[in-house]
Amino acid sequence: MAILNILQYPDPRLYTVAKPVDNVDAKVKKLIDDMAETMYDAPGIGLAATQVNVHQQIIVIDTSENKKDLQVFINPRINTKVGSQDYEEGCLSVPGVYETVTRADSIVVEALDRNGKPFKIEADGLLAVCIQHEMDHLLGKVFVQYLSPLKQNRIKTKMQKMQRGR
Ligand code: QAP
Ligand code: CO
């Protein structure tokens, strides 16, 4: 396994739209294992392939307390969205920034698992937020894009200073 490099906002590669996976082969499984290792190492609760510069529809999530409940979503689709909730989100591609975003409260998601088998789950609370946040990455969208242009510019400046090392 390997720890992958996570793209840092505002890297333009984060705006790439991911393509569906057409075959869950050994290469995809290795990527999933590396993404999971990268997420646990960070540590984070969710990571999209876009963030490691692979533009395929793959997400790994673990919102459990003991970090032993990895959830893999390949080619995820949201069928149903109900209600709304505000949650203070963060992102491994935007370290040190936490802002409140409004998203659906409860969702039904269909996807393929690590073995390419279709499944369907209903999610709410933090898991629902996390799935929607990671699915945005696959569409080339970062959570700061929900904020005002002023806030986005402040975050961009902060990130660029951090990346220069001052
Ligand atoms: C997305 O985010 C998420 O700023 C996953 O310095 C976040 O794992 C979904 C992290 C919140 C729902 C709610 C962020 C680690 C991790 C940081 C993450 C940081 C170190 C973020
Ligand atoms: Co993110």
Across the range 18-24, mean pLDDT stands at: 98
Q: Is 73 in the pocket of ligand 1 (CB under 6 A)?
A: no
Beta-carbon neighbours within 5 Å of ion ligand 2: 91
Q: Is 42 in the pocket of ligand 1 (CB under 6 A)?
A: yes
Across the range 34-45, mean pLDDT stands at: 98
The predicted structure's pLDDT at residue 166: 66
The predicted structure's pLDDT at residue 157: 97
pLDDT digits (tens, 9 = 90+) for 79-128: 999 999 999 999 999 999 999 999 999 999 999 999 999 999 999 999 99
Among 45, 102, 163, residue to substitute to test ligand 1 (most atoms within 8 Å of Cβ):
45
Is residue 18's pLDDT more than 70? yes
Across the range 9-26, mean pLDDT stands at: 98
Beta strand 85-89 pairing with 71-82 = unpaired
Q: What is the position in ligand 1's atom list of the atom closest to the CA of 39?
A: 8
Distance in Å, CA 92 to ligand 1 centroid: 5
The predicted structure's pLDDT at residue 76: 99
Is residue 73's pLDDT more than 80? yes
Percentage of the chain exceeding pLDDT 70: 99
Cβ–Cβ under 8 Å, residues 2 and 34 = yes
Kindly report which listed range (26-35, 78-87, 157-166) carries the lowest average pLDDT score: 157-166
Residue nearest to atom 19 of ligand 1 (CA): 95
pTM above 0.85, yes or no: yes
Distance in Å, CA 148 to ligand 1 centroid: 20
Q: Is 135 in the pocket of ligand 1 (CB under 6 A)?
A: no
Cβ–Cβ under 8 Å, residues 71 and 62 = yes
Exposed e or buried b per residue across 41-56, where buried means at least 16 C-beta atoms within 10 angstroms of its C-beta: eeebbbbbbbbbebeb
The predicted structure's pLDDT at residue 165: 84
Q: Is 96 in the pocket of ligand 1 (CB under 6 A)?
A: yes
Q: Is 65 part of the annotated catalytic residue set?
A: no
To which residue do tokens 């203070």 refer?
88
What is the DSSP secondary-structure string of 72-116? EEEEEEEEEEES-EEEEE--TTSTT--EEEEE-SEEEEEEE-TTS
